[in-house]
């Protein structure tokens, strides 16, 4: 089933991560920075070559990692705040995003794009190849279905020939085995069934927000799966940072005495490097990365969502050797990754959660039910520490010697794909898919503020503040905040609006590698207050490398005169115990029989729990969902909070509203005390 491999060695900063296993082209990217030295405070600028080879150096991620064990041990679990979204991997033998996945009478995502944007009209009387039926050595596919393929538009044609099943019907021996168009063979004439676009799905899912609802553009309806397919296709070339080398062996050859892989590239990723990356990125920074989770030649690219350390035990050198099946008489275990500077050892058992694929026929937003698509790998390792307490290497232990990630990678920016698909058009579809209807204000509208130029300090939690003084005493009936921020990785940013002690978070480290924030936010927390006074917007950057500036800040204030909205409150005091480590969770329902259209909606929850990082909380009504809390907060107690929901604006209030709470880790238990909905109709 699935993923795509790369035909290039995966080292350093790759300008364009573009080629697949079935591709004949190859490139030789730069090796990246030379390894350097660790600083005394545990912050490493360039890495430590004496601990692991340069290919496995965590410095390849070019982030300000902390390597000091005493600092990192507090992060015994971590999870990405922006959850990567599941999608199909769009297999090549099914013709990639040119597959009519909803049936032969519904256009593929590539065909829909051609119809909406490339002035193409389909001929529905002809149909594509069905490889399960149309093949055979004596009856090649060279001339079959040509009426269909010859009438395709430019986007679908390019996808079919470059990322699809064209090799199975072109009348050529593409894989040089003396057979032509062997579409029922194991390799589909050079197209193995596991080849696809997962190398493009993973960066798209990490860097871009998930589409939420269907969009109609130029008379063509694009479903959520269609939009995902186009987003994925336009991440076929991705700038990425790589750690570890690709193992190309179908059967990994192991040393008869040590039991470890003989080839260097089949022995990484080094577990010490994985520990450093996981604790810094997921534990400290709450940021996802990517992995090839299998050691051999097949590449199974997956987004890494989180991890949990279940055991962390100090070892003597003799105990470390024993776990590796060696004795002190052998001396120091002197293989590729053991550091000559290691003076302390720790045995780690780590569970690592990754996101798996969905079917292309599964429509709608899937991150609200991400547990359905979350799988776990369990690893055992020894990490090595030097005299300064820095992690300087490690060794796999037990079954993890043969089953561990082949390489890790960090996508930084999508660079395009299909040349007949305009990336800006795809981004428009995504924005429309996520946009909710916002009722027009009923009173007079006055705008305050304008263009500014305020630099945002890089990797600085304190951030920068910009103030706007409003002199007019206007009672706020509706408030919109228009922000213009130039930044090359908006997933680093947190933006907070405040006035007179009231704070509203406008943006909180979402959007991944998307460029810039040009957004208008509807804010209801100040309704009924006076606009007069000092308004403050605070912007903080929580990761290094990407920089930006606040370019515009405008308040659009509608007075409260005329046509006031009705506000209604619906509550439930019927709580209950939250099942511990149970994917079903606890569901509480508020049935509403009132009529009316939602203009604004808030949800208040009162949940008692000693470790809120275990919890996922979401609200659902009529198939639409919005996540309130997604396993953030670590060991903090309780969730007593009011959330502003936007996903339901413009929809009817009537129906059964469901609050679901899932506890996704063992030991800590809690309960729902009460919850309520406040709707403006």
The answer to whether residues 517 and 633 belong to one domain is no
The answer to whether residues 403 and 256 belong to one domain is yes
The answer to whether residues 446 and 551 belong to one domain is yes
H or E stretch including 14? strand 12-17
The answer to whether residues 517 and 531 belong to one domain is yes
Confidence of residue 263 (pLDDT cuts 50, 70, 90): low
CB-based contact 405:292 (threshold 8 Å): yes
Residue 17 tokens, joined: 């991560």
What phi, psi does 239 have (nearest 5°)? -75, 130
Taking only Cα atoms into account, the Rg of the chain, rounded to an integer number of angstroms, comes to: 27
Each residue of 468-482: b (16+ CB within 10 Å) or e?
A: bebeeebbbbbbbbb
| Burial status of residue 14 (CB atoms within 10 A of its CB: 0-12, 13-18, 19 or more) | buried
pLDDT, position 296: 57
Of the ranges 243-252, 378-387, 592-601, which is most confident?
378-387
Percent of the chain with pLDDT over 70: 79
CA dist 78 and 86 (Å) reads 20
Confidence of residue 616 (pLDDT cuts 50, 70, 90): confident
Q: List pLDDT tens digits, range 342-357.
A: 889 999 999 999 999 9
* Residue indicated by tokens 């405008």: 554
Find residue 470's DSSP bridge partners: 533
Does residue 416 or residue 566 have the better pLDDT?
416
CA dist 33 and 56 (Å) reads 12
Does residue 322 or residue 654 have the better pLDDT?
654
Secondary structure, 3-state, 486-518: EECCHHHEEEEEEECCEEEEEEECCCCCCCCEE
The answer to whether residues 170 and 316 belong to one domain is no
What is the residue-wise DSSP string for 100-157?
-TT-TTS--HHHHHHHHHS-----TTS----TTTS--TTS-SSSTTHHHHHT--HHHH
pLDDT, position 186: 60
pLDDT, position 336: 42
CB-based contact 439:260 (threshold 8 Å): no
DSSP 234: T
CA dist 543 and 484 (Å) reads 20
Residue 491 has pLDDT above 50, yes or no: yes
Q: Is 286 left (phi over 0), alpha (psi -120 to 50) or beta?
A: left
| CATH number of residue 631's parent domain | 2.60.120.260
- Say which residues have a Cβ less than 8 Å from residue 59's Cβ, sequence separation at least 6: 33, 35, 36, 44, 45, 46, 47, 65
Query: In this structure, is residue 1 part of a structural domain?
Result: no
CB-based contact 535:437 (threshold 8 Å): no
Residue 75 has pLDDT above 90, yes or no: yes
Sign of CA dihedral 149, 357, 184, 172: positive
Residue 137 has pLDDT above 50, yes or no: no
Residue 587 has pLDDT above 80, yes or no: yes
* Residue indicated by tokens 């046509």: 563
Confidence of residue 439 (pLDDT cuts 50, 70, 90): low
The answer to whether residues 157 and 217 belong to one domain is yes
Confidence of residue 51 (pLDDT cuts 50, 70, 90): low
Confidence of residue 177 (pLDDT cuts 50, 70, 90): confident
Pick from 530, 559, 588: which residue ends a domain? 559
Query: In this structure, is residue 102 part of a structural domain?
Result: yes
Query: In this structure, is residue 7 part of a structural domain?
Result: no
Q: What is the mean pLDDT of residues 623-628?
A: 77
Percent of the chain with pLDDT over 90: 35
Q: What is the mean pLDDT of residues 92-121?
A: 91
User: Which residue range(s) make up the domain with 158?
Assistant: 96-235
Residue 584 tokens, joined: 């079903």
Query: In this structure, is residue 426 part of a structural domain?
Result: no
Within a 10 A sphere around the Cβ of 575, how many other Cβ atoms?
17
Q: Minimum mean pLDDT among 17-21, 247-251, 511-515, 657-661: which range?
A: 17-21
Query: In this structure, is residue 430 part of a structural domain?
Result: no
The answer to whether residues 306 and 346 belong to one domain is yes
Find residue 413's DSSP bridge partners: 239
Query: In this structure, is residue 289 part of a structural domain?
Result: yes
Does residue 48 or residue 266 have the better pLDDT?
266
Residue 650 has pLDDT above 50, yes or no: yes
Mean pLDDT of the chain: 80
Q: What is the mean pLDDT of residues 249-262?
A: 56
Pick from 382, 414, 446: which residue ends a domain? 414
Residue 262 has pLDDT above 80, yes or no: no
Looking at the structure of the chain, the number of domains it has is 4
pLDDT, position 334: 46
The answer to whether residues 203 and 76 belong to one domain is no
Find residue 676's DSSP bridge partners: 571, 604
The answer to whether residues 382 and 327 belong to one domain is yes
Does residue 263 or residue 433 have the better pLDDT?
433
CB-based contact 624:618 (threshold 8 Å): no
The answer to whether residues 255 and 131 belong to one domain is no
| Burial status of residue 348 (CB atoms within 10 A of its CB: 0-12, 13-18, 19 or more) | buried
The answer to whether residues 193 and 281 belong to one domain is no
Q: What is the mean pLDDT of residues 120-140?
A: 69
Residue 338 has pLDDT above 50, yes or no: yes
pLDDT, position 511: 67
Does residue 644 or residue 152 have the better pLDDT?
152
Query: In this structure, is residue 572 part of a structural domain?
Result: yes
Query: In this structure, is residue 37 part of a structural domain?
Result: yes
Of the ranges 198-212, 432-446, 514-528, which is most confident?
198-212
Q: List pLDDT tens digits, range 453-485.
A: 999 999 888 999 999 999 988 888 888 899 999
Q: What is the mean pLDDT of residues 364-369?
A: 86
Confidence of residue 226 (pLDDT cuts 50, 70, 90): very high
Q: List pLDDT tens digits, range 512-571.
A: 667 789 888 888 888 888 999 999 999 999 887 788 999 999 999 988 654 445 678 898
pLDDT, position 305: 95
CA distances from 258 to 261, 316, 326, 342, 629 (A): 9, 20, 9, 20, 46
Pick from 235, 267, 297: which residue ends a domain? 235
Confidence of residue 26 (pLDDT cuts 50, 70, 90): very low
pLDDT, position 512: 67
The answer to whether residues 357 and 303 belong to one domain is yes
| Burial status of residue 168 (CB atoms within 10 A of its CB: 0-12, 13-18, 19 or more) | buried
């Amino acid at each position: 089933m699935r993923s795509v491999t790369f035909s290039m060695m995966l080292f350093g900063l790759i300008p364009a991560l573009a080629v697949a296993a079935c591709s004949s082209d190859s490139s030789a990217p730069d090796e990246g920075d030379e390894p350097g030295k660790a600083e005394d405070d545990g912050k490493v600028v360039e890495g430590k070559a004496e601990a692991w080879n340069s290919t496995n150096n965590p410095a390849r991620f070019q982030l300000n990692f902390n390597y000091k064990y005493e600092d990192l041990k507090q992060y015994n679990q971590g999870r990405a705040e922006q959850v990567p979204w599941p999608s199909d991997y769009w297999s090549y033998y099914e013709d990639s995003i040119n597959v009519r996945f909803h049936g032969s009478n519904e256009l593929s995502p590539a065909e829909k794009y051609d119809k909406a944007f490339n002035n193409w009209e389909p001929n529905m009387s002809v149909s594509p190849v069905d490889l399960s039926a149309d093949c055979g050595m004596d009856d090649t596919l060279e001339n079959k279905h040509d009426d269909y393929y010859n009438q395709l538009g430019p986007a679908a044609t390019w996808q079919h020939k470059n990322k699809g099943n064209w090799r199975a019907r072109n009348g050529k021996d593409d894989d040089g085995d003396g057979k032509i168009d062997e579409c029922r063979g194991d390799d589909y004439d050079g197209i193995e069934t596991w080849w696809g676009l997962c190398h493009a799905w993973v960066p798209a899912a990490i860097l871009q927000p998930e589409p939420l609802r269907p969009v109609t553009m130029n008379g063509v309806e694009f479903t959520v799966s269609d939009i995902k397919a186009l987003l994925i296709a336009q991440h076929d070339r991705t700038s990425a940072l790589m750690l570890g080398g690709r193992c190309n062996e179908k059967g990994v050859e192991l040393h008869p005495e040590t039991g470890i892989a003989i080839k260097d590239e089949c022995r990484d990723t080094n577990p010490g490097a994985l520990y450093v990356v996981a604790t810094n990125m997921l534990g400290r920074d709450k940021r996802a990365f990517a992995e090839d989770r299998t050691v051999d030649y097949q590449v199974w690219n997956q987004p890494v969502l989180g991890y949990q350390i279940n055991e962390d035990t100090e070892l003597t050198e003799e105990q470390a050797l024993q776990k590796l099946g060696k004795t002190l008489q052998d001396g120091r275990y002197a293989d590729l990754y053991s550091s000559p500077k290691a003076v302390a050892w720790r045995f780690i058992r780590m569970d690592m959660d990754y996101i798996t694929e969905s079917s292309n026929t599964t429509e709608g937003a899937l991150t609200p039910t991400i547990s359905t698509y979350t799988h776990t790998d369990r690893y055992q390792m020894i990490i090595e520490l030097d005299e300064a307490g820095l992690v300087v290497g490690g060794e796999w232990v037990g079954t993890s010697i043969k089953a561990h990630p082949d390489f890790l990678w960090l996508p930084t920016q999508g660079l395009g794909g299909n040349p007949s698909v305009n990336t800006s058009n795809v981004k428009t579809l995504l924005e429309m898919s996520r946009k909710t209807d916002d009722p027009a204000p009923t009173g007079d509208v006055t705008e305050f503020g304008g263009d500014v130029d305020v630099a945002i300090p890089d990797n600085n939690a304190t951030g920068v503040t910009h103030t706007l003084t409003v002199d007019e005493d206007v009672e706020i009936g509706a408030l919109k905040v228009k922000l213009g921020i130039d930044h090359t990785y908006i997933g680093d940013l947190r933006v907070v609006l405040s006035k007179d002690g009231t704070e509203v978070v406008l943006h909180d480290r979402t959007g991944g590698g998307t460029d810039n924030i040009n957004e208008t936010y509807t804010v209801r927390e100040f309704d009924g207050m006076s606009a007069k006074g000092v308004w403050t917007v605070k912007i903080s950057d929580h990761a290094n490398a990407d920089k930006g500036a606040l370019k515009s800040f405008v308040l659009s204030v509608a007075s409260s005169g005329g046509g006031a909205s009705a506000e209604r409150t619906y509550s439930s005091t019927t709580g209950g115990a939250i099942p511990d480590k149970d994917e079903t969770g606890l569901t509480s329902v508020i049935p509403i029989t009132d009529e009316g259209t939602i203009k604004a909606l808030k949800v208040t929850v009162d949940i008692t729990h000693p470790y809120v990082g275990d919890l996922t909380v979401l609200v659902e009504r009529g198939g639409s969902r919005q996540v309130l809390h997604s396993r953030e907060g670590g060991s903090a107690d309780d969730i007593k909070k009011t959330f502003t929901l936007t996903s339901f604006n413009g929809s009817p209030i009537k129906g059964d509203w469901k609050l679901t709470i899932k506890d996704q880790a063992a030991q800590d238990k809690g309960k729902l005390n009460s919850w309520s909905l406040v709707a403006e109709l």
